[in-house]
Amino acid sequence: MSAGDDKGAPPDDPWARWRKPGATAAVDAEKRPKRPADTAPPAAEPPRARAASAPAPRGPRPGAAPAPRKEARPSVPERPARAATPAAPVVAATLPAGLAREGVRLSKVMSERGICSRREADLWIERGWVFVAGERLTQLGTRIDPAAEITISKEAQVDQAKQVTILLNKPVGYVSGQPEPGSTPAVTLVTAESQVRQSGDPEFKPWMLRNLAPAGRLDVDSTGLLVLTRDGRIAKQLVGEDSQIEKEYLVRVAGTMIPDGLKLLAHGLELDDQPLKSARVRQLNEDQLHFILKEGKKRQIRRMCELVGLQVTGLKRVRIGHVKLGELPTGKWRFLRADESF
C-alpha cells in the first residue's frame, strides 16, 4: 500500500480506504472526547395523558364455526303507566242465624245448658246431630250466640237414652274409683243378679258397664249411696267445680269433741291449706253426727272430725241432691228412674 493512498487518512483507521469522502470527519467526531454539555440529557417532555386502551377483541378460534348473527329485535313501545286500582271495601260476611265470630263454642253452650257433656257434644256435632237455629252444624269449634236455639236429632236422643245411671249401695271394703292393690272396685257389684228391678227399667246389658264411672268418691271404709254413670251431664252436675249438689251423711264417732267443735265443723276449718265450704252439722246423739256438705274432698269428714278431737268409726251416705238411698239393700243397685233428678 503506497504512502499516497494513506495521505489524509487517520493512521488508526483501518477502514479509511473504503470510506466515502467526508466520512473521516465523522469518525474523528466519534473519537473526540465528549464535553459535559454534550452529555446533558435532553429536556423532559411534558407528561401526556395516557388514554385507557380497551382490550382488543378476540378473534374466532382457529377451526371454530362462525357465531350466528343475532337479528335485531324490533323495538317495543313502552307501556303506559297503569292507573292505581282503588281497594275494594271490606264487607263482613253474613253469618247464618245463631252463629257469631265472637260467640261461645257450641259444645260449651250445650254443656252449660245441660243438653249433654262437652265430649258428647263434640261427638254429636261430628255426626251431624246438632242444629243451631234450624241449621245442621258439623264443624268442631264453631262459635254461636249463647242465646241461640239448639236442637238435637232423634239419633242423638236415642244415643242419650243409652247413657245409663246406676245407684249402688256400696258396702265397706270396695273402692269407688280406680282399684288399688288388694282392693276391689265397686263396679264389680253391678250384675244382673244384684239388680233391684223397677217398673219401666231397661233390660240390663253387659255393654252398659262400658265407660261406667263413679260420679263422686266414697271411701273404702264407708258405705251408702254411690252414683255410677255414663252420662257426662250427671257427672258434671255432681262433681264439677261449680257443683252445688248437697251430699248427706250419717257419721258414727268416738272420742271427746273440743269446745265449739260443732261450730268449727260447720265453718272455720281448713284442709290442704284451703278453707272448706260451709257445712250443716248437727249432733244426733253422743256418738252420731249428721253432715250435709256441698263438696267432697278425699276423706273429708274423717279429717274434719280429727281436727275437733273425734274419730270416725262408721260413715254412711244417704242422699245426693234429691235422690235418696232409701231401702236399697247393701250391695244392690238400681237404675236412676226417668222421674228422678239430682
pLDDT in tens, 68-124: 565 555 555 566 566 555 553 433 334 555 555 678 999 889 888 878 778 888 988
Quote the mean pLDDT of the chain. 79
- Selecting among 219, 231, 260, 287, the annotated active-site residue is 219
Cα within 13 Å of Cα(181), Cβ side: 0
How many helices and strands in the chain, by DSSP H and E? 8, 18
Active-site residue flag, 219: yes
Task: Quickly tell me which residue has 228412674 as its cell.
Answer: 337
Instruction: Give me the mean pLDDT over the 24-48 stretch.
Output: 51
Cα separation values, 66 from 44, 58, 59, Å: 49, 13, 10
> Which alpha helices (DSSP H) does the chain contain, by range?
23-31, 36-39, 106-112, 118-127, 154-161, 232-239, 261-266, 300-307
Span 222-281, pLDDT tens digits: 999 999 998 888 888 888 777 889 999 999 999 999 999 999 999 989 898 889 999 999
Instruction: Give me the mean pLDDT over the 153-171 stretch.
Output: 86
Residue 331 predicted with pLDDT over 80:
yes
Residue 66 predicted with pLDDT over 70:
no
Q: Look at 34-38, 69-73, 179-183, 247-251 and tell me which has the smallest mean pLDDT.
A: 34-38
What was the pLDDT predicted at 166?
Answer: 94
The CATH fold assigned to 99-161 is 3.10.290
Please give the Cα distance from 181 to 92 (Å, whole number): 61
The pLDDT confidence band at residue 297, using thresholds 50, 70 and 90, is confident
Residue spans of the domains in the chain: they are 99-161, 165-335
Instruction: Give me the mean pLDDT over the 303-321 stretch.
Output: 95
The pLDDT confidence band at residue 186, using thresholds 50, 70 and 90, is very high
Residue 273 CB neighbour total at 10 angstroms = 5
Range among 216-220, 321-325, 336-340 rated most confident: 321-325
C-alpha grid cell for residue 196? Answer: 233391684
User: Which residues are CB-contacts of 163 (< 8 A; sequence separation ≥ 6)?
Assistant: 120, 229, 230, 231, 232, 233
* CA neighbor of 227 nearest in space, from 180, 181, 164, 277: 164
Please give the Cα distance from 235 to 250 (Å, whole number): 23
Please give the Cα distance from 160 to 120 (Å, whole number): 9
Residue 147 predicted with pLDDT over 70:
yes
Q: Look at 57-61, 142-146, 208-212, 226-230 and tell me which has the smallest mean pLDDT.
A: 57-61
Residue type, 242: D
Q: What whole-number percentage of the chain has pLDDT above 90? A: 38
Query: Under CATH, which number does the domain 165-335 receive?
Result: 3.30.2350.10
Q: Look at 48-57, 230-239, 258-267, 282-291 and tell me which has the smallest mean pLDDT.
A: 48-57
